[in-house]
Amino acid sequence: MNNLVHPNDALFKGEKAFPVIPSCEHFAGSEKLILKALQIQAELGPIFNITCDCEDGAAAGQEREHAEMIVRVLNSEANVHKMAGVRIHDYTHAAWRQDVDIFVKNIGELVAYITIPKSTNAAQVREMISYIQNKCRECGIQREIPIHVLIETHGALHEVFEIAALPWIQVLDFGLMDFVSGHHGAIPASAMRSPGQFEHRLLARAKAEVVAAALMHGIVPAHNVSLDLKNVEATFNDASRARNEFGFLRMWSIYPTQIQAIVDAMKPNLDEVQDAADILLAAQQADWGPIQHKGELHDRATYRYYWEILQKAKLSGIAIPSAAAQAFF
C-alpha cells in the first residue's frame, strides 16, 4: 500500500491554506461575561471563539487594569480550549500600544488573535500590525499572531482591498453600527436590523466589498452582530442570509443564545460532509490524482473545497464519518 499523504501536505504544497476557524465569534467585555463565555465554551466545546473586549469593555482610566484582568483570566484554568482573542483600543486612543505591550508580553503564545477596531485607512492598520510584529520579536514570540481588522468607517471601506493584503491578517470584520452612524442619517436606524441591514443599498454594497476583499486575499469575512438578542430564530436567519447571500463565513455573537444559532446556520449540511469524507478518502487512495464519485470527476480543485468542508464540519461539532476522522484528524 502507498504511504497515505495527508490533505494538508498533498493539496497546498507551499501555498498558504485558507484559514479554517470557527464560524462564531462571541464578544465579552467584563470579567464576569468573559468567564461566563469561557464556561459556555467548555460546555459546548471548541465551536466558537471568544473576543475579550478592551475597546468598549474597559472603563475610562482603567485601561491597564482591564487588560491585566484579561491576561489573568486567559492564563487561568477557565480557558480550557485556548480559543480566546482580544480587541484592543483603536488607533486614536492612547492605550492601544499599552494593550499590545501587555497582551504580547503575557499571552503572546496563547491569544487566538488581536482585533483592531475603527481604523480609517490602511496606513493606520499597517502601523498597528508593525507595532505588534516588533513587540513579538522583542518578546521572543515565535508565531504570527492572527490579526482581525474591523471595517466600520468610510476610509477603511475605501481602502479595504489594501487592508486585506497586509501581513498577519486572518479576518476582516464588518462593523455595522459604527458604519451606519458614520452616514449621519443617510442610512436609517431601521437598517441596523433585518431586513434593512441586508437590503439597504449602501450596506449591501459595503458588505459585498468586505467579502470580496477578504476572499481575494485568502482571509475570512465576518458579519456583524444581530441586535435581536434573545430571538434565536432571528439570529439564525441573519446568519443564513449573511452566509448564503453575501458569502460571509463567520459572524459575531453578543448574547449567549446567539452562539449555537450562528454555528447551526453556517455549518455544512450533513450530505455534503458525507460526500467530502467519501471523496477525500478515495482521493487519498488514488494519491490525490483525479477520481470519479457518483459519476462526477474530482481533482485537486474540488479536493481543496471538500477538505475545507470537512474541517468546518469538525469545528462546528458535526460528527465526522469514522474512516475520515481516523485518516485526517
Cα–Cα distance, 265 to 66 (Å, whole number): 33
For cell 458614520, what's the residue?
182
Give me the pLDDT at residue 1, please: 44
Positive or negative, the Cα torsion across 77, 222, 218, 47? Answer: positive
Give me the pLDDT at residue 13, please: 79
Report the SS3 class of residue 229. Answer: coil
Distant-in-sequence, close-in-space partners of 32: CB < 8 Å, separation ≥ 6: none
Q: Which residues pair with 107 in a beta bridge?
A: none
- Residue 126: how many CA atoms within 13 Å on its side-chain side? 10
DSSP designation for 55: T
CA-to-CA dists, residue 235 to 134, 219, 228, angstroms: 39, 24, 7
- Residue 299: how many CA atoms within 13 Å on its side-chain side? 4
CA-to-CA dists, residue 185 to 156, 179, 192, 208, angstroms: 19, 11, 12, 21
Residue 221 C-alpha cell reads as 469575512
pLDDT digits (tens, 9 = 90+) for 218-267: 999 999 999 998 899 999 999 999 999 999 999 999 999 999 999 999 99
CA-to-CA dists, residue 3 to 6, 278, 310, 327, 328, angstroms: 10, 19, 22, 12, 14
pLDDT digits (tens, 9 = 90+) for 71-82: 999 999 999 999
Q: Are the C-beta atoms of 284 and 57 separated by less than 8 Å? A: no
Residue 321 C-alpha cell reads as 464519518
Distant-in-sequence, close-in-space partners of 123: CB < 8 Å, separation ≥ 6: none
Query: Which positions of the chain have pLDDT values less than 70?
Result: 1-2
Taking only Cα atoms into account, the Rg of the chain, rounded to an integer number of angstroms, comes to: 20
Of 316, 264, 293, nearest to 49 by C-alpha is: 316
Say what angle helices 256-266 and 31-44 make with each other, to 10 degrees.
40
- Catalogue all structural domains in the chain, each as residue range(s) with its CATH number: 24-266 (3.20.20.60), 269-328 (no CATH)
Q: How far apart are the first and last CA of the chain?
A: 20
- Is-above-0.75 flag for pTM? yes
Q: Which residues pair with 171 in a beta bridge?
A: 148, 220
Give me the pLDDT at residue 2, please: 60
Following CA atoms 248, 120, 84, 258 in sequence, which dihedral angle do they give, to the nearest 10 degrees? Answer: -50
Cis peptide before 195 (omega within 30 of 0): yes
